[in-house]
Amino acid sequence: MRKVKVGIVGGTGYTGVELLRLLAAHPNAQLHAITSRTEVGVEVASVFQNLRGVVDLVFSDPTSGILFECDVVFFATPHGVAMAQAPELLKAGVRVIDLGADFRLQSVQQFENWYGLAHKSEVVLREAVYGLSELNREAIRKARLVANPGCYPTTMQLGFYPLLKNGLVDVKTLIADCKSGVSGAGRKAEIGVLFSEASDSFKAYGVSGHRHLPETLEQLARMTDASVELVFTPHLVPMVRGMHATLYAKLNSESQGMSNEAIQRVFDEAYKIEPFVDVMPWGSLPETRSTRGSNMLRISLHRQGNTIIVLVVQDNLVKGAAGQAVQNMNVMFDLAETSGLACVALMP
């Protein structure tokens, strides 16, 4: 059985360790390198005890050249790192999956406005493929460079897609009310994500504008000919992992006579062959814990008058990040899309 030789840049964060957890059990993946500038020579399992007896790698220096020996390199790094290092890897024939934002936005101006960084790889950016497997599978299959979607954008795009693609809603009325667990903020020492600050509390953030808004709008615009407007408000909830999006859209005049059953069929048809999208029966109430630790995203539909309400849940670290990246690797290397991702969610 052919093994894909894998490297990871930025393995000390939550998405990095999640990549290690998934890839260590992947039947077609060979973990070859994991780099860290601050942990060179340290055993990975000594930093993350859950990997003891499973991963025997030590952290390597990213400048050692070991990444050039890989078939694919994942970047689980802060913004700006992948754009600096990816071009040389691509020249050497290494394929790249970036879990950061460096290649998600095709508009350089939008990227620089929202992230406050000059884009260093505009030529490479033009060939980047947006890595939402369910909606962009064939382009991902041929790609050298894949931009893994953000966690919130994944829920919003998969939730709105059947409505927009089939022209059922007024695209000026889209609202996304989204909640994420604290791990979405990353593994860092910051007052706002300390236990005593985030526990027993609930708050909105990024209300005047969140970096995932332009990414989502750019992708939603591909689903319809009309100009899309979206109100997006993220919230922080006191749980470690999990994401819940409540999406609202008003049926347009042509669609207001549709029955609930007909709208359900639109979603069922859109995702009938997708292994990681579960369209639940009409009126279901999906729970974030039903996706914990898995690559599954669950969707259910409700209706209030002419407003369709789409509920979407996922694990922000798996389908919202590392699991989706592994799913993209599977597509890129013509592996079974479910390889390494068949784990059932943890309950309770």
- The reply to whether 346 falls in a domain is no
Q: What is the largest CA-CA distance in the chain?
A: 64
- The reply to whether 144 falls in a domain is no
Residues recognised as catalytic: 151
- The reply to whether 342 falls in a domain is no
Q: For residue 285, what are the domain limits? A: 152-316
- The reply to whether 145 falls in a domain is no
Residues 103 and 189 reside in one and the same domain? no
Predicted confidence (pLDDT) at residue 1 exceeds the cutoff of 70: no
Residues 228 and 267 reside in one and the same domain? yes
**Last-in-domain residue among 127, 142, 163:** 127
Task: Say what angle helices 323-332 and 14-24 make with each other, to 10 degrees.
Answer: 50
Residues 156 and 120 reside in one and the same domain? no
- The reply to whether 172 falls in a domain is yes
CA 78 – CA 59 distance, rounded (Å): 18
Residues 32 and 175 reside in one and the same domain? no
Q: What local confidence, expressed as pLDDT, does residue 196 receive?
A: 80
- The reply to whether 331 falls in a domain is no
Residues 122 and 196 reside in one and the same domain? no
Predicted confidence (pLDDT) at residue 184 exceeds the cutoff of 80: no
- The reply to whether 146 falls in a domain is no
Question: For the segment 76-89, what is each residue's pLDDT rounded down to a tens digit?
Answer: 998 999 999 999 99
Strand spans (E) along the chain: 4-9, 29-35, 72-75, 95-98, 129-130, 145-147, 174-180, 203-204, 230-236, 243-250, 277-279, 297-304, 307-314
Residues 116 and 187 reside in one and the same domain? no
Beta sheet of 4-9, edge-to-edge order: 29-35, 4-9, 72-75, 95-98, 145-147, 129-130
Total number of domains in the chain: 2
Q: Model's pTM, two decimal places?
A: 0.95
Residues 119 and 163 reside in one and the same domain? no
Residues 32 and 87 reside in one and the same domain? yes
Mean pLDDT of the chain: 94
**Last-in-domain residue among 78, 110, 127:** 127
